């Protein structure tokens, strides 16, 4: 994992972190642990369990759809921002498309991640990378950071 410090791009942005992860299954739990550590350090008062579950789902989807398709490279980029009272989780990968939530059979063991994110009260959006190489999937979850 590689971490990057970025200048504060918005006056409402109170915390920012960005890091790279290998497009491998181990990256979902690594990202989850990273987000737990960051949100605890920042004193974020939102739903930590929801944030961690969303992180896991975003990373697992990126690994499944971008990692497998592209031979394990380039890395996935996870961005974590606290902006005002919202948490933004963003995962960038090299797959140029976004697969909407499929209709899932009751017996299926996967395929519910995007629906789960919406059920947690988060908003989900996606956009192609400005370079045209891949996409960014962004989730916004309500919450707030403790005032220092």
Tens digit of each residue's pLDDT, the chain (148 residues): 665 555 545 556 689 999 999 999 999 999 999 999 999 999 998 999 999 999 999 999 899 877 655 555 689 999 999 998 899 999 999 887 776 655 665 555 555 677 888 888 899 999 998 888 889 999 999 985 555 4
This model's pTM is above 0.85: no
Residues 6+ apart with CB under 8 A from 62: 23, 76, 91, 93, 95, 137
Say if CB 88 and CB 51 are below 8 A apart. Answer: no
C-beta of residue 21 within 8 angstroms of C-beta of residue 2: no
**Cα 101 from chain centre:** 16
In a domain, 147, yes or no: no
Instruction: Evaluate the omega torsion of the peptide bond into residue 94 and state whether it is cis, within 30 degrees of 0.
Output: no
Q: Tell me what pLDDT residue 82 has.
A: 95
Distance CA 141, CA 105 (A): 27
Residue 148 lies in a domain: no
Token pair 């690994």: residue: 63
Structure tokens given for 134: 């891949």
Position 104 scores a pLDDT of 61
CATH number assigned to the domain comprising residue 13 = 3.30.565.10
Q: Could you tell me how many residues make up the chain?
A: 148
As for how many domains the chain has, the answer is 1
């Amino acid at each position: 994992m590689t971490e990057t410090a970025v200048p504060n791009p918005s006056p409402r942005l109170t915390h920012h972190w960005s890091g790279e992860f290998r497009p491998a299954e181990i990256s979902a739990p690594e990202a989850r642990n990273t987000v737990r550590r960051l949100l605890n350090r920042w004193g974020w008062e939102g739903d930590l369990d929801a944030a961690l579950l969303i992180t896991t789902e975003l990373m697992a989807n990126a690994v499944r759809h971008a990692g497998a398709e592209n031979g394990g490279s380039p890395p996935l980029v996870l961005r974590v921002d606290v902006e005002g009272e919202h948490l933004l989780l963003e995962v960038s990968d090299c797959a140029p498309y976004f697969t909407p939530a499929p209709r899932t059979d009751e017996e299926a063991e996967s395929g519910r991640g995007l629906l789960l994110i919406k059920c947690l009260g988060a908003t989900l959006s996606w956009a192609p990378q400005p370079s045209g190489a891949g996409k960014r999937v962004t989730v916004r979850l309500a919450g707030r950071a403790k005032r220092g």
